[in-house]
Structure 1
């Protein structure tokens, strides 16, 4: 039997944090625009060595520097664009889909493997319908022994039947038919095997092949003791293939016996339930096989099984050594190997278990992630310094880790700078890029924004590796925002050209003059101009700049041609057109009537503001679904767009207007009654305010209800409202 490698634990990728949204899902990813992250976030990976990256990202960056793999750089998918992603940061799923995927076990692979098997079936003299349809039912699953019961292993068996001259045609066909029948399932009882396995064989080779088939059937059925009896009887077979395969299958049977109680129904392991004595026998048996057949047919698979044994033994030191050896091989399947390292080694290993510099660097970065004050670290500064000799072949990598420790753990940017080179190489591989990125972050942490800007600009023409320029644009945008030089992002010839980065700053930080400038900018894209104009008009109106709103309406195109705006104004899977600001008003389904929004704005210029105008501003928000609109919120202060908005005034909520009208005892009956009706409904049905941030006590809402039902009983809204919340 041929085993192609260890299977993997199911990937469980969660998301950390939910960003501004009009829709959300607990298992979805959203972009978070922060380059200096020290907490794991699989939704926001970065193309430099970072504690916040998943270990697979950091490992792939190091392997890319060795020329063993590449970092994918493909256009954004429609889904990513709707979520508001740029190329940097990127969700881990993009790397898994593009860089770490494998099609082994796919239906296509199974079909292509069946093609030569059909030829063998014909040569043996069986009918074409003897060949079962290909199946991928065992294409995945932790440790599933059934995966190797496939067309490829059946092909091996049939090939050996054709090479065995001592077999009669009838015996060869009988054995082939039995092997093909075994492809249809993966468990048989004794009665079924009596029918499946051949019993009319006279030659010694025929009996040996039949014994092998019995061992294989017992193995797949999970009866490892019976499988061992069959395979041990073949250790001295005169048939070389049978002899070698039997030795290999003895080891594989022992391994499966040792782990058979260690996995639950979902495939999750409990290594305490491994039979360690049987596991040691499996290790010895694999060692014997590799000693007898160092270049054997199953040598690579046997080494893979040894890695599995080390994992089941919790022997991270030997396991790490095996991975280091594999990474040095040019023929290694890096996609599968990176996944396996992540699942089997990095989840439990400590830095003390690892001697390979690349694996050790990945573990060290994991240890630099944010820890609670009372949570111990497996790595401290002294421990990192003691690793220096392990990095003798890559001293720059150790220097980088030292700088990262000072920046992320010690929060000492001055010390970090001492371990980072000032000279910039002509070629920026990912380690050199990481060094310079960290240098820029340390400069900014020390408030030397100008020096950091100069560094980012010097790096731009050298950023040839995938995603490096995208990160530098984000770094520059963050620098300009936090150093109060936002206009440089939008100046002519600005290197910051990533659309979503510019749009984030327009919607969250830009003041009215910059928004007007970009709304008119001939060199800007249509989407950027529309985004700037939307943000300008929205904030004019909802920040109380009513005359500016009236004046800025002149910037609306006479013939709306742009697409509705989505991610650029903070929507997830939604959109809003610029025609929003041409809202005509009218009567709603409860009978309350409003003028057009431009007339509402004119009325709101009066002092005191008319109750109907306040209610109608609320109607504009309500009827257009603008409660909790993305433009009303700011990102975290650690993220792009998280600085203080330069737009004057504060965001208006419907409840602001309702409270003002309710407090106005001189307000017309219809307007005050409607304000009471809407204010009470703001808490329907959850009991939480859906119209603003105010927390109105239930007793107050009860009083509103009584006032509406009593003082304004004749209004249609008093008659319609049956409850308060």
Structure 2
């Protein structure tokens, strides 16, 4: 169970209870999808998940993948279920430490031992990230350091050592399309000659002159320097491997596998065999074994590739980077027949194919979704002796996601309470609860989620179940249960998210509820007071101000523009309770809205927690609504109407978009306001200040 819980750490944290934005500025919704911020990272097998998340879940269940332990952050808010926030948090701590720049920006100690300044290391800091799938990737810090250390051990004359070291450092500035003459003028006899010939072969390799490089490395496999002999043998693998894909690499580093040189691949595979036979404990052993996977991928041999991935995971090499490689090399080009070594790939691929189209996908990109019959046939075509245990779940998910046959999905996912709490069973139970909720069988759905919470100990799953219960209760119009003292929903974020759609009586109860945190009570008080004002319930506002000390909105708050005096908000509300049409008080309240309530709590996307109907009642008004009320009211003084016109125009400043509400005001109407201000009210200070309109 512990392995499963770590995987929810692909998520970032809510910055506040009201709103959370991802790295691209999107608001991450509290739902079982995160399509507004990319894909999801839920702790159950879901079509909405990033495929890496589903892969990590199934591999963790098999004991093949281990990531960081999951825990709630210190502020108590749960992570968001959005994969694109920080997918690398699937890494273990060792993975994270290894994820830095391979070119090692810190100069190695051997540099000083050779009498070279740290500045000589500067060219090595380029990791050649713009040259994917080419020889350039390996022209980095580890290769340079190995050469320098071997050079130090060779005990050559100081002048030769320094010259060879500088030549190798300068070589890192070369790559395909950036040809320079091969190193010359270095030792041609004795031990130093081996280093000269190595530099010449390496220069040819990095310049994609593979015939010359191959001959050069082959001649060095018997070198006196152990490092040169082994490295040359290893590079004899990479030479035909890079030649194989040389004509298949596109302008942007993309590979066309149909253009790969298969004969060169076979030579590379044979040379991997030779290297591992000659150097069973060699310094490049792990890299050579990884190259087997590259050969299989370029040969499009999914069966062999799946076996090698399985072996790598079983050997303890199941890190985050291997997970990414598996996603890229197998799932991105999923064959029609799933590899027998990793049958779960068909499950992950099947879930991906059930995924709802991205909001930004074009009609051409929205592929037809598979039918239940097609899914069954694909599993049958795999030729396994028995059907996989996950087949019923995949078919039930198809009923739910594609057919919207929620009754069939609910029936197919009913499990006894004593069924093991495996990943598959947990996912099945989640789908069962979602199906009950989709059928609006609220009592059954609530009871189901409560049972799951009572039996669950995994932190990630508990977070998910609290969210699903909160969503169910909101849709069942049972918000009081979400906020109750005995509620199993203990996450403050989930409770605060429903406050914007709560009724006035429930908000008043929440303000004084001893079991809620001060932050929750304060959020409830803010919602109550703000809605009293935006709905024009001024008497209620005065009464509700005293529910908490200090009040969420200070009665002494005064917001206004220079030279237009306003009284504190409590006095404004009292004045408007007596005279709702008072133009000055209305303008001042509009200024307050502009700073305090316009867009303060944006609505949640459809389907997310907090996206239900607002139970407070009344019609919310924005600052622009109040300015327009003054503009259109009879018997308003020139000064107050001019102020309202000027402030209304400034709601569209710079962009022409309304940032004082959601109303779409035509340009001709805004032009009319400007003309009116500059003609009829031209003598007012506000007309003189207003020079343009938007």
Q: Matches of residues 422-461 of structure 1 in structure 2 within 5 Å?
A: 422-425=415-418, 427-461=420-454
Q: What corresponds to 1:385 in structure 2?
A: 376
Unaligned runs of 5+ in 2: 1-9
Shift of 1:231: 2.5
Secondary structure of 2:337's match?
helix
1:515–1:536 Cα contact (<8 Å) kept: yes
Q: Tell whether the 8 Å contact from 1:511 to 1:647 is kept in structure 2 after alignment.
A: yes
Q: 1:583 to 1:28 in 2, by over 3 A?
A: closer
Q: Deviations over 1:443-499 (max 9, x none)?
A: 111222222222211212332334011111111111111111111112122110111
Alignment of 1:389-538 (within 5 A): 390=382, 395-425=388-418, 427-506=420-499, 508-538=500-530
Residue of structure 1 in register with 2:184 after alignment: 194
List runs of 5+ in structure 1 lacking aligned partners.
1-12, 561-577
| Number of the residue aligned with 1:339 | 324
Residue 63 of structure 2, aligned match among 52, 64, 67:
67
Cα distance in structure 2, aligned partners of 1:667 and 1:128: 82
CA RMSD between the two structures: 4.1
| Aligned residue among 684, 687, 691 for 1:715 | 684
Q: Quick one: distance in 2 between partners of 1:626 and 1:172?
A: 74
Summarize deviations over 1:384-408 as a string: whole Å, max 9, x none: 2134455767833222212111111
Q: 1:437: how far off?
A: 0.6
**Structure 2: distance between partners of 1:306 and 1:315:** 11
In structure 1, which of residues 257, 277, 302 is the aligned counterpart of residue 243 of structure 2? 257
Cα distance in 2 between the residues matched to 1:153 and 1:680: 64
After superposing the two structures, state which structure 1 stretch, 364-373 or 231-240, moved more. Answer: 231-240
Greater relative contact order (CA < 8 Å, ≥ 6 in sequence): 1
> CA 1:87–1:430 in 2, change beyond 3 Å: closer, same or farther?
farther
1:598 equivalent among 570, 592, 602: 570
Q: Give a deviation string over 1:522-553, Cα, whole Å, max 9, x none.
A: 22111011111111111111122211101011
Alpha-carbon separation, structure 1, partners of 2:17 and 2:336? 38
Whether the 8 Å CA contact 2:123–2:172 is kept in 1: the answer is no
Which deviates the most, 611-620 or 495-504? 611-620
**CA offset at residue 217 of structure 1?**
3.6
TM-score (norm 2): 0.83
Deviation at 1:174, TM superposition (A): 5.8
Q: Distance in 2 between matches of 1:378 and 1:310?
A: 30
State the partner residue of 1:588.
561
Distance 2:668 2:547 in 1: 47
Are the counterparts in 2 of residues 351 and 378 from structure 1 also a CA contact under 8 Å?
no
Q: Is the 8 A contact 2:11 2:79 kept in 1?
A: no
CA contact (8 A) 1:38 1:370 kept: no
Q: Indicate if the aligned counterparts of 1:134 and 1:151 stay in contact, CA closer than 8 A.
A: no
Q: Specify whether residues 66 and 453 from structure 1 end up closer, same or farther in structure 2 by C-alpha distance, changes over 3 A only.
A: same
* Distance in 2 between residues matched to 1:719 and 1:105, nearest whole Å: 60
Comparing 304-313 with 457-466, greater Cα deviation is found at 304-313
Deviation of the 1:596 alpha carbon:
2.1
- Given the alignment, which residue of 218, 236, 241 partners 1:232? 218
1:89 match: 81
Cα distance in 2 for residues equivalent to 1:325 and 1:579:
62
C-alpha distance 431-171 of structure 1, shift in aligned 2 (>3 A): farther
Could you list the per-position Cα deviations for residues 290-343 of structure 1 after superposition, in whole angstroms to 9, with x for gaps in the alignment? 16745743554334224324444555555444334433x232242111111223
Alpha-carbon deviations, 1:187-213, whole Å to 9, x = none? 577766113x42122xxx876665445
Q: CA deviation at 1:361?
A: 1.6
Q: What is aligned with 2:337?
A: 352
Q: Distance in 2 between matches of 1:280 and 1:452?
A: 60
Go from structure 1 to structure 2 and tell me whether the alpha carbon gap of 1:259 and 1:379 turns closer, same or farther (over 3 Å shift): same
Within the candidate set 285, 291, 296, 1:305 is matched to 291
Deviations 1:19-70 (A, max 9, x none): 99889787245321112x3959546421111111111111111122122334
Cα separation, 2, equivalents of 1:306 and 1:663:
77
Distance in 2, matches of 1:132 and 1:703, equals: 68
TM-score with structure 1 length normalisation?
0.80
* 1:571 corresponds to: none
Instruction: Give distance in 2, aligned partners of 1:190 and 1:595.
Output: 77
